A and B are shown apart, each in its own frame.
Chain A
Amino acid sequence: MSDMNTAMVEKYRNSFLSEVEANVEEGEWVKMCMQCGVCSGSCPFGPYWDHPPQELFMMIRAGKREAVLSSESMWMCTSCYNCIARCPRGLPITHIMHGLAHYAKRLGLAPKNQQTMKFASIFWDNLTKKGRVNELQLGLKLYFMNGFVEGIKTALCMKEMGMSMLMTKRMSPMEYFGGHSIKDTKGLHAILKKAREIEEAKAKQF
């Protein structure tokens, strides 16, 4: 268990709902769900969720902390916003899913091999490094995120597609050595550092 996780368990004891309300992006909406199930029925990856959004909300209310935070479910969100558009109660479901995923990762409870988590983390690191996404580096990193052998397999599987992208000049090998960047990376990093600090200070407050 991460230190933060231990601290949170300590602090909220019985009320996982309060924990979510205080620490998860848009978490204060969870209690407003009326369990109609429209979101779950609208989700493109619906069949693959162990616990679709409606159920996650119920589990949070039922205090199932472990089950929720270690679930693969919220990592299944494709950010299609279908649920948001349709929820009769106006819950920002997509954002809550992102928030839950982020929180689970922060606490170290997200499943270790969660593919979307890995990808999303790499993506974030990639984009914050130079301020812009380096698609080639991102792609290569992705292929190898599950180890060398897996990576070769993925790369082979993706070879054809990569070739077409190269041929149509929608990818460039030159990117590997530098590529796109903003000028003021220093400023951006300072901004992000501060934003992180503010957020962490807030989490401690509760």
Chain B
Amino acid sequence: MAEEKKVGTYICKGCGIGDRVNTAGMATIATRECKSQVTKEHDFLCSAEGVKMIQDDIDNDGVNHIAIVACSRRAKTEAFSFENVAISRGNVREGVIWVRPDTDEASETTQEMAEDYTRMAVHEVSVMTPPTPSGQSEGRKNLLIVGGGISGMTAAIEAARAGYEATIVEKTGALGGSAANLYRRVPESSPFKDPEDSGVAALIAAVDADSKITVHLNSTVTKTSGAPGRFSADITTESGATATENFGAIIQTSGFTEYDANQLPHLGYGKGKNVVTQMELEALAAAADGGVIKTADGKDINSVVFIQCAGQRSDEEGHLPYCSGHCCTTSIKQAMYFKDQNPAIDTTVMFTDLRTPGAGGEDFYRSGQDKGINFTKGVASEVTDNGNGCTVKFRDMILDEDTSTDADLVVLATGMVANAGVDIDVVGQDDPGKWEVSVDSILNLDYRQGKDMPQLRHGFNDSHFICFPYETRRTGIYTAGPTRRPMDIGQAIEDATGAALKAIQAAENAELGRAAHPRSGDLSYPSFRKEGCTQCKRCTVECPFGAIDEDEERYPQFNEGRCRRCGTCMGACPVRVISFDNYSIDTVGNQIKNVDIPEEFDEKPRILVLACENDAYPALDMAAMNGVEYSAFARIIPIRCLGSTNLIWVTDALNSGYDGIILMGCQKGENYQCHFVKGSEIAQDRMSKVDDTLQSLSLEPERVETYEIAITDIERAPQLINDMAATIEKIGMSPFKF
């Protein structure tokens, strides 16, 4: 039985609010205009006493919808967290008194602001419901790890140590991945002087010994479906036998493939045994096992040239545009293989920029110099066979001359290509009912948006590399190691450890129905009114996280566990049937509609600001803390993501007489900072349609502006509001005031 809705409004007079605005007037508005059943003012609302007052009303008076008119929703979140009730916040501290001058002339407009924020808070909460979890999760906590190299094994061991079961699916016949082919690795601890044992054997032993870890060798994942807490995966062996298992979360550690050196014939590759790649040299070194390293055809080696950036950091067709990060240090390590065995062997590392990242990188470089490795800043143009070995032609970048050197062996530092599966931007998903396994896919997801993890650029899997490097665009599935970005062993270990913890967190969250980052803990999830749905699939296509599938009848099927609660689907829906319990077309629409719009000749314009809660809204809060003032005509509504902006809000606002509208989202594109990856970008595309609306209303295009705001824009964000106020002064008030 649904409880009866009872709205309580609590107005704080602390932090100077009571001195600057007439809270009694606000209370009257809440009660008379907004029909708040219980309205109270308090001198110090976030104090134990104030909080108790509210809790008492909840407990004894049946209040279940609470509008707190005090500080920003980003402040005092602990104090104002009440269970099982809907809560809204009217921001009269950061949003009003801190951004307005304390003068007599300003007091009237300041009061109007405070009253509007009161109206907005009460009207918002009246259409909210306290969210409850959907119960979709099956509560599974075990991890599926796809790829049994260093990253995969590390993730499994870390998960097991934390008490979670892990299953490794490895394509080849043995664990170890690329690292298993290394003779030695770059040192990971002080004094960073000599190559070290790769540690692979020890890792394999640890995996084998762990009762919480199961390993499937010679196996691949042929189908993945479900959501965090209830993933299902088909694990198929070489012979074709398939077993279906269930998991709580997934980590993809599919590693890298060495760049194909056959694309570098000018560097002599493929013509003889004296030009090898770094990986091939590892094999030669492993075969020598500390003894004399010889070429594959058994020749002595007295001089070696390592050519860095072979086919990397290059604009040429077929080359890798990026730096693989590990290869400079790897070449130093490999030159040491020779120097440690016989210091008389000449080793030259030919580089354009020597990069030795990591804490020990510089020490290792120095150790290499100390051991007599020669470092030459130069670009190799051609490697030819001279009968006795190779001649390397190169441009010496310091001496600024074309020159050459002879070497018995040339080693090419060719870089990493991610094993990231199929590029879903190129290869679309099979149509419903016609789904088939792809041999090129790593995960074989049955998700509507495609079979593998989305890629950002250069073929690496996308992750939120600026703010939350582990978060991918498929909730509950994490990528770690070189499939995510080029990295060395040390970084891969760290990466896998982080991914394991994120995967555990995802499984735990799923069980409780809670959202993952950035709305961590949010219990709301999108639901849609089937009767209204036109099956346009906008939501399915636009969801940045691929959370929406299609059912047999082609209706959207929301997977709550995969959803990040950004609301992009809600913004996308042309018939507005998607909503959350605590965030909907109405919760925002009600706020827009209930702002008091003065008559045209009052010369008091209204500017609606829809501000992303992750960057723009905090920026405005911080501006307020720093005492930056902005126009008293602005009414700011925080939104989950610019992607959740439905055009109807803009249209409604224009129709009801707002004079200007500002949309504030995050940076989009390759260097995106949008917390929901694609939300801001999608919204900005969507907003291009606003011009039509403006035209049909014969309104100036300057009345609606969209900006990318960073959290650091504490001067700029208020300035943009003031700019809009100035624009309105110039072009005049909107004629649509009623």
Contacts and interface: CB of A to CB of B under 8 A. Distances in A.
- Does A touch B (CB under 8 Å) in the complex? yes
Interface of A: 17, 31-32, 34-35, 54-55, 58-59, 61-62, 64, 89
A35 B374 CA distance: 12
A55 B399 contact: yes
Contact of A34 (B354, B370, B374, B396): B354
The bracket for how many chain B residues form the interface is: 10 to 19
B377 A35 contact: yes
Contacts of B376: 58, 61-62
B366 A54 contact: no
The 7 closest A-B CB pairs, nearest first, are A58-B398, A32-B369, A31-B369, A35-B377, A61-B374, A55-B398, A58-B399
A32 B398 contact: no
B372 A31 contact: yes
A58 B372 CA distance: 14
Interface of B: 354, 365-366, 369-370, 372, 374-377, 396, 398-399, 403
A62 B370 contact: no
Nearest to A21: B372
Given A35-B377, A61-B374, A62-B376, A54 B398 contact: yes
B369, B377, B398 pick with most chain A CB within 10 angstroms: B398
B416 to A, nearest CB: 25
Nearest to B403: A62
B705 to A, nearest CB: 46
Contacts of B399: 55, 58-59, 62, 64
Contacts of A32: 366, 369-370
A152 B37 CA distance: 110
Given A32-B370, A58-B376, 13 more contacts: A31-B369, A31-B370, A31-B372, A32-B369, A34-B369, A34-B375, A58-B377, A58-B396, A59-B399, A61-B376, A62-B376, A62-B403, A89-B366
B408 to A, nearest CB: 14
Contacts of B354: 34
B308 to A, nearest CB: 14
Nearest to A58: B398
Nearest to B348: A61
B242 to A, nearest CB: 55
A54 B372 CA distance: 18
A58 B396 CA distance: 10
Contacts of B374: 17, 31, 61
A64 B405 CA distance: 13
30 contacts: A17-B374, A31-B369, A31-B370, A31-B372, A31-B374, A32-B366, A32-B369, A32-B370, A34-B354, A34-B365, A34-B369, A34-B375, A35-B377, A35-B398, A55-B398, A55-B399, A58-B376, A58-B377, A58-B396, A58-B398, A58-B399, A61-B374, A61-B375, A61-B376, A62-B376, A62-B396, A62-B399, A62-B403, A64-B399, A89-B366
A101 to B, nearest CB: 20
Contacts of B377: 35, 58
Nearest to B366: A32
Nearest to A15: B346
A117 B398 CA distance: 27
A55 B398 CA distance: 6
Nearest to A88: B362
B354, B370, B374 pick with most chain A CB within 10 angstroms: B374
Contacts of B370: 31-32
A111 B399 CA distance: 21
A31 B367 CA distance: 11
A32, A34, A59 pick with most chain B CB within 10 angstroms: A34
Nearest to A31: B369
A32 B362 CA distance: 11
Nearest to B401: A62
A32 B365 CA distance: 9
A149 to B, nearest CB: 39
Contacts of B369: 31-32, 34
A61 B403 CA distance: 14
A142 B370 CA distance: 42
A59 B377 CA distance: 11
B72 to A, nearest CB: 46
B369 to A, nearest CB: 5
Contacts of B403: 62
B328 to A, nearest CB: 12
Nearest to A30: B369
A62 B403 CA distance: 10
A35 B369 CA distance: 12
A62 B375 CA distance: 10
A64 B369 CA distance: 19
Contacts of A35: 375, 377, 398
A102 B701 CA distance: 77
A89 B403 CA distance: 27
Nearest to A18: B372
Contacts of A54: 398
Nearest to A35: B377
Contacts of A55: 398-399
Nearest to A37: B398
A57 B92 CA distance: 67
A92 B375 CA distance: 19
Nearest to B368: A31
A167 B377 CA distance: 56
A17, A58, A64 pick with most chain B CB within 10 angstroms: A58
B401 to A, nearest CB: 10
B366, B375, B376 pick with most chain A CB within 10 angstroms: B375
A55 to B, nearest CB: 6
A35 B403 CA distance: 18
Contacts of B396: 58, 62
Contacts of A61: 374-376
A58 to B, nearest CB: 4
A132 B366 CA distance: 43
A192 to B, nearest CB: 34
A2 B403 CA distance: 29
B377 to A, nearest CB: 5
A128 B377 CA distance: 44
A55 B397 CA distance: 10
Contacts of B398: 35, 54-55, 58
Contacts of A31: 369-370, 372, 374
A96 to B, nearest CB: 15
Nearest to B372: A31
B403 to A, nearest CB: 8
A54, A55, A62 pick with most chain B CB within 10 angstroms: A62
